[in-house]
């Protein structure tokens, strides 16, 4: 139980670590937990598809429940974070997430699967907004672009979750597997929650209000400037949200369809097919672990542009390659390319507008996941699944294009 011992040591607030370092460790644990739980569900999609008797398009509509539940709750979560604090909301959603992941294997039709995925998606969307808001506050306090490290923990959790899922896919039923994930998730949350709740996140909006000029005519001028800046801020948040949408589409597509592509189109063993998302998540982990250094050297714009181009090239290989191993290499290259785009988009939106910015960018981002499952499902029925997956490459290229064309506005 080394993980629990480490969490207990973090909760104890040892004398040899700073408060910000302890907070960074605890937030990282919640990102990893989110990725672990989500990946556990993803690798059992083929088995649950067979259990429910769903076609590709019916499965796509059922998977829409995850994104629909997430998007509906994201803007609400921004308000909850402002009222109760992002740390408390993170803990609450971290309890709901593992509880709801146990529900999909209990279903036996596409309709009931879609309904329970609404609940799972609501918990997933809530924890993503809350923990990203907490991370944005910490990034501002640290003064370094460390946001990719949190998303690296998400990818690492996804890699571990999908890797374990691949190992147990032939031995445990989806019900037992996801119930075990529920237990693990609740234990980790119970161990990490006290340390997170002990810290109070900063409230930059309140500090800005307190600093407002007191001279009447200066206040009016400042109010006019604030309105102008507010419109510009909303526009930039929209830009970052669109970039997040394009890349979240790719992450969601690989999470939902990569295992099925290998098993159905390339006739891979179920264990190898389940490891496809692990390949992608491992590459994303490596890319995000080096993300801070990359951002310090290249800056945000070039990171987005180069990442989008790399992701597009990798996904063309991953979707059209004729062999399992070339496909896995393509998925890995895609993971490296997309690794830091979503963290950059969410961090910039949060820096501009706090939890509301995180919620707005996340809502647009997960709109990509909302669009992805049914779009790929229908395209797979109309054409083929490999052809449908090339849409990931197209949107990665769009993200790079948006990043390049708005580079001066975003840098200002």
Between 329 and 366, the more confident residue is 329
Residue 28 confidence (pLDDT): 95
Residue 178 confidence (pLDDT): 94
- Token pair in block for residue 355: 């939890």
Mean pLDDT of 42-69: 85
Residue 229 confidence (pLDDT): 47
Mean pLDDT of 396-411: 82
pLDDT over 50 at 279, yes or no: yes
pLDDT over 50 at 282, yes or no: yes
The mean-pLDDT minimum among 220-234, 245-259, 361-375 falls in: 220-234
Residue 312 confidence (pLDDT): 96
As a three-state string, the secondary structure of 328-351 is HHHHHHHHHHHCCHHHHHHHHHHH
Mean pLDDT of 93-108: 94
pLDDT digits (tens, 9 = 90+) for 155-182: 889 888 988 888 887 788 999 999 999 9
Residue 189 CA neighbour count, 13 Å, CB half: 24
pLDDT over 60 at 262, yes or no: yes
Give every CB contact of residue 215 below 8 A, 6+ residues apart in sequence. none
Mean pLDDT of 301-329: 94
Give every CB contact of residue 93 below 8 A, 6+ residues apart in sequence. 77, 123, 126, 127, 130
d(CA 146, CA 135): 9
d(CA 396, CA 383): 21
pLDDT over 60 at 210, yes or no: no
Between 5 and 324, the more confident residue is 324
Radius of gyration of the chain (CA): 21
d(CA 342, CA 398): 14
411: confidence class by pLDDT, cuts 50, 70, 90: low
Give percent of the chain with pLDDT exceeding 70: 86
Mean pLDDT of 230-258: 84
227: confidence class by pLDDT, cuts 50, 70, 90: very low
pLDDT over 60 at 3, yes or no: no
Residue 87 confidence (pLDDT): 95
Between 90 and 237, the more confident residue is 90
409: confidence class by pLDDT, cuts 50, 70, 90: low
pLDDT over 50 at 207, yes or no: no
Residue 359 confidence (pLDDT): 86
pLDDT over 70 at 220, yes or no: no
pLDDT over 50 at 355, yes or no: yes
| Residue pair 304/403 in contact by the 8 Å Cβ criterion | yes
Residue 43 confidence (pLDDT): 85
Q: Can you give the length of the chain in residues?
A: 412
Give every CB contact of residue 164 below 8 A, 6+ residues apart in sequence. 40
User: What's the farthest any 2 CA atoms get from each other in the chain?
Assistant: 73
Mean pLDDT of 361-378: 78
Residue 31 confidence (pLDDT): 95
Residue 203 confidence (pLDDT): 52
Relative orientation angle of helices 147-168 and 110-142, to the nearest 10 degrees:
150
Mean pLDDT of 272-292: 85
Mean pLDDT of 91-111: 94
* Cα-based distances in Å from 208 to 122, 172, 230, 307: 32, 54, 14, 34
Residue with structure tokens 């999470």? 255
Between 139 and 277, the more confident residue is 139
Q: Which domains does the chain have, with CATH numbers?
A: 2-200+225-411 (1.20.1250.20)
- Token pair in block for residue 388: 């449908």
| Residue pair 42/101 in contact by the 8 Å Cβ criterion | no
Averaged pLDDT score across all residues of the chain: 83
Residue 217 confidence (pLDDT): 41
Q: Which of 113, 132, 116, 122 is nearest to 30 (CA)?
A: 132
Q: Tell me whether residue 179 is exposed, middle or buried, using C-beta atoms within 10 angstroms of its C-beta: 0 to 12, 13 to 18, 19 or more.
A: middle
């Amino acid at each position: 139980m080394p993980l629990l011992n480490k969490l207990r040591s973090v909760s104890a607030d040892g004398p040899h670590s700073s408060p910000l370092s302890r907070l960074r460790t605890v937030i990282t644990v919640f990102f990893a937990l989110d990725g672990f739980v989500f990946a556990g569900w993803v690798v059992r999609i083929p088995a649950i598809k067979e259990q429910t008797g769903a076609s590709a398009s019916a499965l796509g509509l059922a998977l829409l429940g995850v994104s629909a539940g997430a998007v509906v709750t994201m803007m609400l979560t921004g308000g909850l974070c402002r009222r109760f604090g992002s740390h408390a909301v993170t803990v609450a959603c971290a309890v709901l997430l593992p509880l709801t992941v146990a529900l999909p294997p209990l279903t036996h039709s596409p309709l009931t699967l879609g309904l329970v995925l609404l609940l799972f998606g609501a918990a997933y969307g809530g924890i993503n907004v809350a923990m990203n808001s907490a991370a944005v506050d910490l990034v501002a306090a640290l003064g370094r672009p460390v946001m990719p490290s949190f998303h690296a923990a998400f990818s690492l959790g996804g890699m571990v979750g999908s890797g374990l899922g691949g190992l147990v896919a032939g031995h445990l039923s989806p019900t037992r597997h996801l119930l075990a994930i529920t237990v693990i998730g609740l234990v980790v949350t119970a161990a990490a929650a006290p340390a997170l709740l002990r810290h109070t996140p900063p409230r930059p909006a309140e500090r800005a209000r307190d600093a407002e000029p007191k001279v009447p005519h200066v206040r009016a001028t400042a109010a006019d400037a604030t309105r102008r800046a507010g419109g510009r801020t909303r526009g930039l948040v929209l830009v970052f949200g669109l970039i997040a949408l394009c890349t979240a589409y790719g992450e969601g597509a690989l999470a939902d369809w990569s295992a099925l592509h290998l098993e159905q189109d390339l006739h891979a063993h179920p264990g190898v097919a389940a490891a496809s998302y692990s390949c992608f998540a491992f590459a994303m982990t490596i890319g995000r672990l080096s993300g801070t250094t990359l951002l310090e050297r290249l800056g945000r714009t070039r990171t987005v542009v180069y990442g989008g181009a790399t992701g597009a090239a990798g996904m063309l290989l991953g979707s059209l390659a004729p062999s399992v191993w070339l496909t896995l290499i393509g998925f890995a290259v895609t993971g490296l390319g997309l690794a830091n785009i979503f963290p950059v988009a969410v961090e910039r939106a949060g820096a501009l507008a706090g939890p509301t910015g995180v919620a707005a960018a996340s809502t647009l981002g997960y709109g990509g996941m909302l669009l992805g499952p049914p779009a790929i499902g229908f395209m797979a029925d109309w054409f083929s699944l490999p052809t449908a997956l090339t849409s990931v490459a197209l949107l990665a290229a769009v993200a790079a294009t948006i990043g390049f064309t708005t580079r001066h506005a975003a840098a200002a």
